[in-house]
Structure 1
Amino acid sequence: MNKRFTLAILIAGSMCAGFFSACKKESKAGGTTTTTTSGTATSDEDSLKYLMYNTMQVSYVDGGRSTTTSLPTYYWYSNVPTLNPLSSTYANADSLLERMKEYAVGTGSTVLDRYSFLDRTGSLSSSLQDGVSGSLKKVAATSGDYGMEVTYVYADASMSTTYLYVLYVDKNSPAGQAGLQRGDRITAINGDTNISYDGTSGSNYTKVINALYNSTSVTLKVNKVGTSSTTATYSLATTTYNINPVLFDTTYTINGAKVGYFVFYTFTSTYTSKGVASNTKTVLDALFSRFKSEGITNLIVDLRYNGGGSVTTAEYLDSAIAPASAAGKTMYYYLYNDKLTANLDQVGLEASVNFPASMGGLALDNVFFITSGNTASASEMTLNNLKPYMNVQLVGTTTYGKPCGFITFTLSDHDSTGKEQYLADLYAINFATENANHTGGYYSGISPTDSAADYIDAPWGSLTQDENLYNIKYYLTNGSYPANTGGRLAAGSNSGVLRVSKAPLNTKKFSGMVDYRLGKKLK
């Protein structure tokens, strides 16, 4: 659709931006420069470029129409020079955003913003805030998903052969309901057995991505976990479903004490956009109620595939896990850009969040987090917030490194008839967090207390086959971790070649640290 805008577009959404022929940007030092941008918006994409830029770099006030208030929302706005978002240099809003991110640099000119992005379907907001997977704000080719993640795994010690495996499956999803599970090896997709890894730009890789994440139906042939001879065929169709973020849970008795364990794969919000308790809250309430009644004195939270999500769910977990002595004390601090920080009361933002007066009731000696390079954002925030108040142990590998988060801005325009048109949800870094000891800034990730490998053929919860759990059991039994990082392999339970060495294929799954509450508070 072709439209021409010369002055202003009325924008609607959860928070908005406006379109003007000129913008004003103040430097970090406080000086002011005014630049008149040339060009006019001739398409929805032009509108999106300008609205995104204005929201990040100029001001969100009055739908972005204010010319007297300077309240940019981007955390690193002062690093970005004045740009013309309508320049033909930027083919689309995504390329403009990538250019802006290049200016978010830290020590040694390291680019810190690996995170900001545009969601053009609204699916992330639906899944994170309302707990419904695959629900779209904007009509697209697909709706819903299969509810599983897959990855390539090296199948021999020489790392010359790769197999495609199911990494995890949501219980409520089409894949979960059909019976697919962690450790199933996919041997054919739609009858095609040529699915070995050939690089992220390879034809096989592209074929797998399209079949599993960009289609509405698929047929998979698999070798079932734990056997090379049992095969099964699954025909799946995408659908929307209520996300169950807990993949597995159990309670062990180790060295005479009760130990709770659960696998948590996404921080879907505990309350929906309508303010009602979500399925995530129902699941977590039941889980922690059981842990409390069983009298656990140690807890293992498995976040090895958890890319984060809603801040309120991180707060729920911290409040459920932390000791009673943390009640009413600081859980974490927010850090904003200088303009927002100087006007917190005016804009309605919080400087910090405290633990509630009433805690979860657990009395834990230790909390263990199983981590990997896929453990990000709200996951890292959760464990970091607990460190000032209790013994926090990390087992696995170094986390992703994302101590910062988003306030969602929904960008829309109107056509010539006045009909609102959804363009995208903007996720650009708006804040960082620090724990009560002012510890944060872990852009290179958080190192584990003990290193352990992840093996795809290790079932959820196995104390003998999962090296992470083996090492934690060893610690609880002996007071220290195994001297070697191959403790599970030394026990002779597995050959060890099926080590998870690549990230989940669905790069769109990354969901960051999103604070929907702040979005509602912004004035």
Structure 2
Amino acid sequence: MKPLKITLIIIAFVSFWSCKKTENYQVGVDLRDSVYIYSKELYLWTDRMPDIFDFKPKNYSTAEDVISVVKTYSPVLNGKYVDRFSFVQRKSEWDNVSAGNRVDYGCGYRFISENDLRISFVYANSAAGKQGIQRGWRLLKVNDIVPDNSTTTVSQLNTALFNSTNITILFRKNDGSEVTITLTPQTYTANFILDKRVIDNNGKKVAYLMFNSFLGGNGGKDTEAELTQAFDFFASQGATELVVDLRYNGGGYVFLAKYLCNLIAPASAKGKVMFTERWNSRYSEFDETSYFDNSSGKLNLSRVVFITTSSTASASELTINSLKPYLDVKIIGSATAGKPVGFPVLPIIMDRTNANANYVVAPVAFQSFNANNFGDYFEGLTPDKLQIDDVSRNFGDVNEACLKDALNFLTTGVLQRNIENTQELFVTKEANEVFNKEHHGTIKLMNPKIFIKK
């Protein structure tokens, strides 16, 4: 009944304000007004927001400007607004992103030193994947650009790698050989399990899962099927330990986070609290507690290791935080993004005959807390062992820095405290912004078809 209830309230709210005006401001059929109205109604910190006549959405140039201002009504932590996540996007773009449908070269990029740019991941079905490009390959030249992490060069690389119709790259492979490859963007559906294997680790079988997103086709059901197959494979191989690599996983659907939690959780968690969502005071009836299934746990685990970076966010953090009360959870890598909040993604239909005129808005609407009532990790979940993202080695390589630490811990029960080197210290702010482009979130499925503009 939640979707119907929230719809009736929003329709009444929109209809009421559509008829209102003051001497200085009139509410009308305008995308900027709609973004404000949905945000004012659902925003987790709605009590901090002014009414529409004081806010005056149409005084801003774009809907994106409106949502940027909305975010300034969130609390401030260490000089920064905690809401870095609410967004507005064209509906057609969002539909493709959420389904994993892409038109690009199909790989990620990351600097490991001032002039050493590497492939960080590759989607198998993409142009890069079909050419056999692998994580760890070094980009020696991109068209005529020799990579370095200066602001000017990063801007040029951004254009070449993300906004071009073809590209020629000189690579140095992991074996030291060099190859030149020309790529053209292709339409493909991303596979979000980038690697799965069982590793023999000093007589113990360790399952390794590199999981890149909680999104996917058919509303995430395709990814659910991938996860099922992965854990069936782990169980069939007799795995008794687990390493989950979420280093680039920016989140996605809440139901997939719950599904992964159930696959990992021990039998002792059956029927117990997984997490609780808390909405704003207007929608406190939406507060909801999720519980572990009675079928929880395929591997009979007592501990689990997660690999993380600052790109690990939202549904990824929800998964880690929800399992902490029930398992010995260890985190290796760097602190996560710090996103204990989520949102429904709501369509704003401006023109039913023109898809490009329609948008979605996603104001932060709820915060999640685990069974120990912990959910204030806006500065990220802290790793038990700091370690670099060792982009010089492929996923599943037992000598990759994070996985090596994980396997050592699963053998000895000890995590060394020192960080082994400082690759990430060379990465500039601009480079981080350019080469971490995945935009996900913790997405609440609430029958979005009924969230249509007045």
TM-score tier (shorter): 0.7 to 0.9
1:472-491 aligned within 5 A: 472-482=406-416, 484-486=418-420
Q: 1:405·1:512 contact (CA, 8 Å) conserved in 2?
A: yes
Pair 1:94-2:64 in alignment: yes
Cα distance in 2 for residues equivalent to 1:520 and 1:386: 32
Q: Secondary structure at the match of 1:468?
A: helix
Q: 1:311 aligns with which of 247, 254, 276?
A: 254
Q: Counterpart of 2:218?
A: 272
Pair 1:76-2:25 in alignment: no
Pair 1:184-2:137 in alignment: yes
Q: Counterpart of 2:296?
A: 359
Pair 1:146-2:98 in alignment: no
| TM-score normalised over the length of structure 2 | 0.88
Cα distance in 1 for residues equivalent to 2:170 and 2:181: 6
Q: Counterpart of 2:22?
A: 36
Q: 1:17·1:55 contact (CA, 8 Å) conserved in 2?
A: no
Cα distance in 2 for residues equivalent to 1:426 and 1:97: 9
Cα distance in 2 for residues equivalent to 1:330 and 1:122: 36
Q: Counterpart of 1:31?
A: none
Cα distance in 2 for residues equivalent to 1:20 and 1:37: 19
Q: Percent identity?
A: 30
Letter of the 1:475 partner, please give it: F
Letter of the 2:45 partner, please give it: W
User: Compared with structure 1, are the counterparts of its residues 18 and 507 closer, same or farther at alpha carbon in structure 2 (3 Å cutoff)?
Assistant: farther
Q: Counterpart of 2:439?
A: 510
Letter of the 2:49 partner, please give it: V
Q: Counterpart of 1:104?
A: 74
The alpha-carbon deviation at position 76 of structure 1 amounts to 1.2
The alpha-carbon deviation at position 120 of structure 1 amounts to 1.9
The alpha-carbon deviation at position 106 of structure 1 amounts to 4.2
1:192-341 aligned within 5 A: 192-199=144-151, 202=152, 204-227=153-176, 230-269=177-216, 272-273=218-219, 277-278=221-222, 280-341=223-284
Q: Counterpart of 1:398?
A: 335
Letter of the 1:125 partner, please give it: D
- Cα RMSD for the two superposed structures: 3.0
Q: 2:347·2:448 contact (CA, 8 Å) conserved in 1?
A: no
Q: Counterpart of 1:382?
A: 319
Q: Counterpart of 1:173?
A: 126
Letter of the 1:184 partner, please give it: W
Q: Secondary structure at the match of 2:255?
A: helix
Q: 2:246·2:306 contact (CA, 8 Å) conserved in 1?
A: yes
Cα distance in 1 for residues equivalent to 2:168 and 2:269: 50
The alpha-carbon deviation at position 100 of structure 1 amounts to 1.6
Q: Counterpart of 1:63?
A: none
- Write out per-residue CA displacement over residues 155-194 of structure 1, whole angstroms, 9 at most, x where no aligned residue: xxxxxx32222111111212111111111112222x3134
Deviates more, 1:466-475 or 1:498-507: 498-507
Q: Counterpart of 1:141?
A: none
The alpha-carbon deviation at position 82 of structure 1 amounts to 2.4
Q: 1:117·1:428 contact (CA, 8 Å) conserved in 2?
A: yes
Cα distance in 2 for residues equivalent to 1:500 and 1:297: 38
Letter of the 1:221 partner, please give it: L
Cα distance in 2 for residues equivalent to 1:401 and 1:483: 22
Q: Secondary structure at the match of 2:197?
A: strand
Cα distance in 1 for residues equivalent to 2:310 and 2:128: 25
- Write out per-residue CA displacement over residues 14-34 of structure 1, whole angstroms, 9 at most, x where no aligned residue: x9898669479xxxxxxxxx9
Deviates more, 1:301-310 or 1:208-217: 208-217
The alpha-carbon deviation at position 339 of structure 1 amounts to 0.2
Cα distance in 2 for residues equivalent to 1:37 and 1:388: 56
The alpha-carbon deviation at position 505 of structure 1 amounts to 2.5
Instruction: Compare CA radii of gyration and give the structure with the larger one.
Output: 1
For structure 2, the 5+ residue unaligned runs are: 1-6
Cα distance in 2 for residues equivalent to 1:500 and 1:456: 14
User: Compared with structure 1, are the counterparts of its residues 332 and 89 closer, same or farther at alpha carbon in structure 2 (3 Å cutoff)?
Assistant: same
User: Compared with structure 1, are the counterparts of its residues 499 and 176 closer, same or farther at alpha carbon in structure 2 (3 Å cutoff)?
Assistant: farther
Q: Secondary structure at the match of 2:195?
A: strand
User: Compared with structure 1, are the counterparts of its residues 420 and 292 closer, same or farther at alpha carbon in structure 2 (3 Å cutoff)?
Assistant: closer
The alpha-carbon deviation at position 462 of structure 1 amounts to 2.2
Pair 1:133-2:80 in alignment: no
> Number of residues paired by the alignment?
440
Q: Counterpart of 1:62?
A: none
Pair 1:469-2:367 in alignment: no
- Write out per-residue CA displacement over residues 306-331 of structure 1, whole angstroms, 9 at most, x where no aligned residue: 11111121111101000122222221
For structure 1, the 5+ residue unaligned runs are: 1-11, 25-33, 58-71, 135-143, 155-160, 490-495
| TM-score normalised over the length of structure 1 | 0.77
Q: Counterpart of 1:61?
A: none
Q: Counterpart of 1:30?
A: none
Q: Secondary structure at the match of 1:36?
A: coil
Q: Secondary structure at the match of 2:119?
A: strand
